[in-house]
Structure 1
Amino acid sequence: MAEKGEACIRNIAEEPWQQFPAHYGGALSKALVHPDTTGSKQLDYRISTYQPMAYVERHVHKVQEQVYHVLDGEGLMEVGDEKRVVRKHDVIFLPPGVWHSIQNTGLGDLTFIVVTTPLTDD
């Protein structure tokens, strides 16, 4: 494995599942590219799997942009005042200042990629 901040190739099995703050009910993620795993300075790239009824609290980012890419399952995505069902192949772009949340309302796991940049809202 490369030193943090250097180019690297990682296998998904190398990163443990974790439940980040404000994520509940089996909302698990693997921080594949993150300051703690690769030393990235501008990018957070995660794969997440939410068990049925799992969710992340409604929240907003001041400067961060996010992209969610649903790989499997279905859930309910709240973007601003709108709630929509999201499924495999849906891609959601969230600019700064938009309140949002996602929860698994389906019968099986909801799996998606989340990309966030920059790393903090400072």
Structure 2
Amino acid sequence: MKISNKNAEHYIWGGSCDGWDLVKNEELSVILEKMPPNTKEVRHFHSKSQQFFFVLSGSGTIEINGEVILLNKFEGVEIPPFTLHQMKNESNEEIEFLVISQPNSRGDRVLSS
């Protein structure tokens, strides 16, 4: 079955950010996320999941273990398990990106203290 943000399961996170579950099973998660300007996720890590963030439009910053990395369109970064990270949109434009997790990261998020 063909999948897109038109027919995928949608949810809102962080009050104003969108997510669409494009692939959602035990072994793999692919999520399309959209962040409005000046939004950010909560700093956290995963104890099992490795992730790959890949920007489709706009540009954002991701903080990984205290290092800030600028991600422009068609750039990505891999995040191993137990690695603190936080995606941010500090720009004046919307950002869209993919978050690919293996295995699925649901229930595997540990917030930073």
Shorter-chain TM-score tier: 0.7 to 0.9
* Deviation beyond 6 Å, 4+ runs, structure 1: none
Q: Could you tell me which residue of structure 2 aligns to residue 13 of structure 1?
A: 6
Q: Could you tell me which residue of structure 1 aligns to residue 26 of structure 2?
A: 41
Deviation at 1:16, TM superposition (A): 4.8
Given candidates 34, 41, 53, the residue that maps to 1:56 is 41
Does the 8 A contact of 1:25 with 1:51 survive in 2?
A: no
Letter aligned with residue 10 of structure 1? I
TM-score (norm 2): 0.85
Does the 8 A contact of 2:9 with 2:22 survive in 1?
A: no
Does the 8 A contact of 1:25 with 1:54 survive in 2?
A: no
Q: CA RMSD in A?
A: 1.5
Q: Could you tell me which residue of structure 1 aligns to residue 111 of structure 2?
A: none
Structure 1 gap segments, 5+ residues each: 1-7, 35-39
The answer to whether structure 1 residue 91 and structure 2 residue 81 are counterparts is: no
The answer to whether structure 1 residue 29 and structure 2 residue 14 are counterparts is: no
Q: Give 1 or 2 for the bigger CA radius of gyration.
A: 1
Which gives a bigger RCO, structure 1 or 2 (Cα 8 Å, sep 6+)? 2
The structure whose residues are more often strand, as a share, is 2
Q: Please list the CA deviations of residues 30-74 of structure 1 after superposition, one character each: whole Å capped at 9, or x if unmatched.
A: 01111xxxxx22111010110001211000011110000001111
Q: Could you tell me which residue of structure 2 aligns to residue 115 of structure 1?
A: 100
Structure 2 gap segments, 5+ residues each: 109-113
Q: Could you tell me which residue of structure 1 aligns to residue 86 of structure 2?
A: 101
Deviation at 1:25, TM superposition (A): 4.6
